[in-house]
Structure formats: C-alpha cells, structure tokens
A and B are shown apart, each in its own frame.
Chain A
Amino acid sequence: MTYKASFRVWRGDTEGGELRDFTVEVNEGEVVLDIIHRLQATQAPDLAVRWNCKAGKCGSCSAEVNGRPRLLCMTRMSVFDEDEVITVTPMRTFPVIRDLVTDVSFNYTKAREIPSFTPPAGLEPGEYRMKQVDVERSQEFRKCIECFLCQNTCHVVRDHEENKENFAGPRYLMRIAELEMHPLDVADRREAAQDEHGLGYCNITKCCTEVCPEGIHITDNALIPMKERVADRKYDPIVWLGTNLFGRGRK
C-alpha cells in the first residue's frame, strides 16, 4: 500500500533555518529514515542526516519526530495516520551542524570526565573472576547504544544550557552507577557522583527512561539506586556511624 505523506523537515544550520514542507511517497513497512532517504534521493539531495545501521543498534539517527526524541530508523510510518503531517527536526539539546545532524561532542566530554574501571590492586586483566549474579545489574546498562536520546530529552540540560557544565546527564550518571555496582570496581564514586557529575540535578522525572530505545530502566535501576548510595555516603548519619565507628564497609 503506497500513499503520499506530508512531511515538515527542519533545514538549516547555526545561522538559522526553517521547517520546510515536502510531499513524499510512503510504502508499506517503511520507517521514517526510509522517507528521509527518499527525500534525499528525489527532492533534497543536500539534506544532511546521520545514519549507519538502520537496525536500532548504532545510535546514529537520533532526531525528533513530531516533537518526540526517537531513532529515525526505529520509528515505523504505520504509527502515523496517512493524513498526519509528520515533523522531523534535529535533537534540540545539542548544537546543530546542518539539517538533522547535531554536534554531540558534549557527551564525549562528559564520558571522559568519569574515572575508568578501577580493579583491585594486583589483579591483572585475564584474572578477573565474577559471579553472574553480581554483574547482572551492570550488564543492563551495557545495552546502551549511545544514541544520546536520554541526554537530549533530559530537561536539566535541554531547558537550561547553563547546567551543561555541571551535569553529566542520565547516560553518564548511569555509567557511574554501572561502575559503582561492578563487583570488581574498588573506587568509591558516590561523592563525585553528587559533587562533580551533578546527580542532585536529576529530579527523577523519568523522561530518559521513556525515550530509551533499548528499554533500559535508567531511572529505577541506575539513577535512583545511585541517589540512595549517595544518601548512604552523604546524608545518612546512621550509615555514616556504622561505616566510621564500627567499620562496616560496603560488601
């Protein structure tokens, strides 16, 4: 079944831009990225879009469709009515480069600020041994494809540019939680999570979880457990007494 769909696609760069109207053919089984590619092939050969795998695994084609952060390759055309106008824009939290392509280097900067995996002293690569039950929690977070949709939708930086300096964003707070829960990581990341990476900015409104194409429970399994661990370290006098007076460390 083929029909003509109405699209509004943002075209422009840092100097300015606008939503331009297109009418384009849609075939059964297609996704929004297919339609963007057809636009490139037939009407707008210079339309810039970043993509790679077309399978929801590379995280390249992140954008906003009808105002909702999505992967273009995982948004089926069948979820829209045939007479619906479909608006496609770049992610609105990051600087635009051109058309649908944004500069996501903010995320790489934040990634570099997190101290890497810290194994116990004297334990060499190849000697790591872990029980599956101990490493399962961290493994959920390894499903992340780094599409940065969670970073894009988080209102802490989306609505407040000034917070970018102090807030790592849900993807990298999840990375801290992954390492903090890792059975062989010996670094204590709780104080830094709050003071250096801005965990306190998170008000757990769960938009990161809502937009995650991998279905990772970012808020419930990473951010809230991390907030509780920070509370252990900084805000709970009973835990503090247990740790400092009676030597009950983390096990």
Chain B
Amino acid sequence: MTAPADNAVSGGVRAPRRARIAERTLRTDRWWLSPLLTTLGLATFVIYATIRAFVRTAYWVPEYHYLTPFYSPCVSTSCVPGSSHLGHWFGDFPSWIPLGALVLPFLLGFRLTCYYYRKAYYRSVYFSPPACAVAEPHGKYTGETRLPLIVQNVHRYFFYVAMIVSVLNTYDAVVAFHGSTGGFGFGLGNIIIVGNVVLLWAYTVSCHSCRHITGGRLKHFSRHPVRYWMWTQVTKLNNRHMALAWTTLGTLVLTDLYVMLVSSGVFSDPRFVN
C-alpha cells in the first residue's frame, strides 16, 4: 500500500513556505498494517452481526435457556417460545426488522460514537489520517464541528442506554443457569455467556463518558471522595478501553456462535450440573 493521493496540490504538507518535499510521507515502517487490520476486523464483525441479526434461527436453546445477545431482549411475538424474558411488547416483526431491533440501534450508536472506535474508523476507513504523519486524501476537513459528525457529542446518551442493556444481558446470563430437567443447571455455555457479560460491563463502564460522569467533570476531587474513588477505578478500566472494545467484539461473536451451534444441534453443551 502506498500513501493516499494528494489532498490538494497546494495545501497540506505542500503548502507555501513549508519544506518542499515531494513525498506525501517519508515513513518507512509498515504504517498501513494497523488501518488494514482494523478495517478487516471491523468488517468481519459487521458482516457477521448483520447476517446473524436477520436470520432469525438458532438464537435460543430451550433446554438451558441460552439466549444470544444479538436477540436480547426478544419482545416480539415473532420470537420463539421461551426466549421472550420480558414478555411480548410488540406483534410480529416483518422479516426485515431484526428481532433484537429494540436495542440494537442503541448498541450500534454506542460503539459508533465511542471515542476509541472513532479513532479506529477515522483512521482506517476514512483515512483522516490513515496514520500519523501520513497525509490524508481529503481536500477539506471540518472534523466534528458541524453535521453530521457533531452528533458524536451525544455519546453519553448511548452510554446510558448501554448500561440498561448490560443489566438485561446480566439478567439473561442469570436465567441461563437452567438445567435440562428444570431447576439449576450449569454448563460450558454459562461460562461463555457470563464471561461475555462481565467483559461487556467492563467495556461499558470503561467508556470515556462514564469517566467524565463519575468524576471527570468535577473541579475539586477533594470535595467528593466517593466520586473521586469511582473516577480512579473507571480510569483504570479506561486505560484498557481499546482492548475491551476489541475483546467484546470477539466475545459477542463467540457467544452468539456458541448458542447457534448448540441450538442447531451441531454439538451438545458440556454440562457440569444438570
């Protein structure tokens, strides 16, 4: 991969009075590798999640009450019996509406406006810039000063919804401790589902907006010791926000894939209890 095309003949690093250097970048390392891998990673998840959100099959394991996170909460009468933990709020959904449509747009919004993902796709998809000190291909740049990107400022509202969804996912994980003969049960699927929920909580709480809300907006930490303590804990998680962003994409796919394979009978869930 070579550096992107000129952003403007007389602008950018070729602006008047700057050192006249023909190359758009003189970097000799593999600066293109990171945006390439990011694009591939994001595209893989988007394609997988889109297909799974629409197929409407193998999202519920009735014996063990495993529900994939892509269909939670399932509140339409189109949902298979037993999968609607919160009851039926809506009638049948037409096939072009995912059964998880109640929260999927908010989760998508939470990730799209996330400060880490913004960095990831601004660099790797929009090339703004593709890498540090590598010229971007755009002739004009206004960033997040106007529509549509000024909407990124609503990230905190998606965070609030994501917190509620995390509670729902936690509820799903609890009711999944269900045995094939009723009562308590525990299998490999529970470990995967609980692991996914724990990491989703970690990703959600590590959000920069959460860090701001818990204590970042304060002028005086000393007057709010509890909020300061919360801020320090969120800050520790926030330092791993990028890692959690990627890990949770992986665990979401793993959890969904596992539920799909067990539900469709490809293999049996190894059971430790009932």
Chain A interface (Cβ < 8 Å from any Cβ of B): 10, 12, 14, 16-17, 19, 64, 66-69, 84, 87, 89-90, 92-96, 102-103, 131, 133-134, 153, 155-156, 158-163, 181, 183, 198, 200-207, 210-211, 220, 224-225, 227-232, 234-236, 250-251
Looking at the complex, which one of B20, B142, B216, B219 makes contact with A225 (CB distance below 8 Å)?
B216
Looking at the complex, which one of A94, A156, A251 makes contact with B141 (CB distance below 8 Å)?
A156
Query: In the complex, are the beta carbons of A89 and B118 less than 8 A apart?
Result: no
Chain B interface (Cβ < 8 Å from any Cβ of A): 7, 11-13, 15, 17-21, 23, 25-29, 115, 118-119, 122-123, 128-129, 132-136, 138, 140-146, 149-150, 153-156, 208-209, 211-212, 216-224, 228, 238-239
Query: In the complex, are the beta carbons of A229 and B217 less than 8 A apart?
Result: yes
22 residue pairs of the A-B complex, CB under 8 angstroms, read: A64-B26, A66-B26, A66-B29, A68-B27, A68-B29, A69-B132, A92-B18, A92-B21, A95-B18, A131-B220, A134-B221, A156-B141, A158-B12, A158-B13, A159-B7, A159-B11, A160-B141, A204-B115, A204-B118, A205-B128, A220-B238, A225-B212
Query: In the complex, are the beta carbons of B13 and A92 less than 8 A apart?
Result: yes
Query: In the complex, are the beta carbons of B144 and A10 less than 8 A apart?
Result: no
Looking at the complex, which one of B18, B153, B218, B220 makes contact with A227 (CB distance below 8 Å)?
B153
Query: In the complex, are the beta carbons of B222 and A228 less than 8 A apart?
Result: no
With A68-B133, A228-B209 in contact, is A200–B144 under 8 Å at CB? yes
Query: In the complex, are the beta carbons of A228 and B208 less than 8 A apart?
Result: yes
Cα–Cα distance between A162 and B143 once the two chains are bound (Å): 13
Query: In the complex, are the beta carbons of B141 and A163 less than 8 A apart?
Result: yes
Q: Smallest Cβ distance from A210 to chain B, in angstroms?
A: 5
Query: In the complex, are the beta carbons of A159 and B136 less than 8 A apart?
Result: yes
Q: Smallest Cβ distance from B240 to chain A, in angstroms?
A: 11
Cα–Cα distance between A155 and B138 once the two chains are bound (Å): 11
Q: Smallest Cβ distance from A103 to chain B, in angstroms?
A: 8
Cα–Cα distance between A84 and B29 once the two chains are bound (Å): 12
- A84: chain B residues at CB < 8 Å are 28
- A94: chain B residues at CB < 8 Å are 18
Dominant SS among interface residues on chain B: loop
Q: Smallest Cβ distance from A177 to chain B, in angstroms?
A: 11
Q: Smallest Cβ distance from B23 to chain A, in angstroms?
A: 8
Cα–Cα distance between A154 and B7 once the two chains are bound (Å): 15
Query: In the complex, are the beta carbons of A235 and B28 less than 8 A apart?
Result: no
Query: In the complex, are the beta carbons of A251 and B17 less than 8 A apart?
Result: no
Query: In the complex, are the beta carbons of A203 and B219 less than 8 A apart?
Result: no
Cα–Cα distance between A214 and B264 once the two chains are bound (Å): 55
Query: In the complex, are the beta carbons of B133 and A158 less than 8 A apart?
Result: yes
- B208: chain A residues at CB < 8 Å are 220, 224-225, 228
- B211: chain A residues at CB < 8 Å are 225
Query: In the complex, are the beta carbons of A161 and B12 less than 8 A apart?
Result: yes
Chain B minimum-CB-distance residue to A202: B143
- B141: chain A residues at CB < 8 Å are 155-156, 159-160, 163, 201
Looking at the complex, which one of B19, B144, B217, B238 makes contact with A92 (CB distance below 8 Å)?
B19
With A10-B19, A200-B145 in contact, is A89–B26 under 8 Å at CB? yes
Q: Smallest Cβ distance from A63 to chain B, in angstroms?
A: 10
Q: Smallest Cβ distance from A69 to chain B, in angstroms?
A: 6
Q: Smallest Cβ distance from B212 to chain A, in angstroms?
A: 4
- A229: chain B residues at CB < 8 Å are 212, 217
Give 5 nearest A-B pairs by CB, closest first: A67-B26, A67-B27, A200-B145, A95-B17, A207-B132
Cα–Cα distance between A66 and B208 once the two chains are bound (Å): 34
Query: In the complex, are the beta carbons of A224 and B115 less than 8 A apart?
Result: yes
Q: Smallest Cβ distance from A62 to chain B, in angstroms?
A: 12
- A163: chain B residues at CB < 8 Å are 141
- B129: chain A residues at CB < 8 Å are 155, 159, 205, 207
- A87: chain B residues at CB < 8 Å are 26, 28
What would 12 more interface pairs be, CB under 8 Å, given A183-B220, A207-B132?
A66-B26, A94-B18, A131-B222, A134-B220, A134-B222, A155-B136, A160-B7, A161-B11, A203-B119, A220-B238, A225-B216, A250-B218
- B29: chain A residues at CB < 8 Å are 66, 68
- B142: chain A residues at CB < 8 Å are 201
- B143: chain A residues at CB < 8 Å are 156, 200-203
